[in-house]
Amino acid sequence: MLALTRPVSPSIGDCVLTFAEQQPIDVGRAALQHRAYEACLVELGVRLVPVPAEPDLPDAVFVEDTAVVLDEVAIAAAPPLPTRRREVASVAQVLSHYRPIRALAGGALLEGGDVLRIGRVLYVGLSGRTNREGTRQLAALAAPHGYEVRPVAVEGCLHLKTACTYVGRNTVLANRSWVDPGQLEGVEVVEVAPGEAGAGNALLMRDTVVMSASFPETSARLRSRGFRVGMVDVSELEKAEAGVTCCSILFEGGGERT
């Protein structure tokens, strides 16, 4: 398993916020938390693949939004914000060593944080960052490889995976205020604990669910159901409207392409 990661930009305090309130971000602390996050992935058996730093792009550490990586191909994302579009090329360049790269065209908008994969189904959040044309083009690119794309309505949060993520064992962790998990067919649902709205964002890494230390009650709900949970402190990154999935792109390696 490989994980693309990128360092925290010194300009992260200038990040664009949609639903969160602006707060001062301690860049040094954010960088330490990010390195601890990377160390957590390594402890769980992941090999890190670094992406070049982008000091002038505030959101660049949140690499998840720049691409959708499937087993057979990688699709470069099409963020609506100009600064975020500038993040895509350097990530695609690194991914090109592992997957053929495909791109969206025209009026398509798509960010990786809106794409939730469960088996061969890609659930795509229709959010302020991803539109129906982006969903349609993703479906056209993924269908030849055996994937089905299903749009999902999202309300009140940045991305689908802000509200809902897959935690293994045919189970999703979800905030029902932001997404109706009934749109994800045939899965069990664990609801986030009261007062922990952002806890629906969790990162499944092999047999461990990685969660933010900000959500102890929701993590306890998972543990009570037999899930193994690992906690990381990403409190400074959360001020930038981020979660634990945002800081990496995980995929199976199998060696670089020649």
Residues carrying an active site annotation: 159, 246
Bridge partners (DSSP) of residue 212 are 232
As a whole number of angstroms, the distance between CA 128 and CA 159 comes to 8
Reduced to 3 states, what is the DSSP secondary structure of residue 156?
coil
Q: What's the token pair of residue 97?
A: 């060593």
Rounded to 5°, the CA angle 166-78-50 comes to 70
As a whole number of angstroms, the distance between CA 75 and CA 93 comes to 12
Reduced to 3 states, what is the DSSP secondary structure of residue 43?
helix
As a whole number of angstroms, the distance between CA 72 and CA 142 comes to 9
Helical segments of the chain, H only: 27-43, 82-95, 132-142, 160-163, 216-224, 235-238
Reduced to 3 states, what is the DSSP secondary structure of residue 160?
helix
As a whole number of angstroms, the distance between CA 245 and CA 64 comes to 7
Q: What's the token pair of residue 13?
A: 């305090």
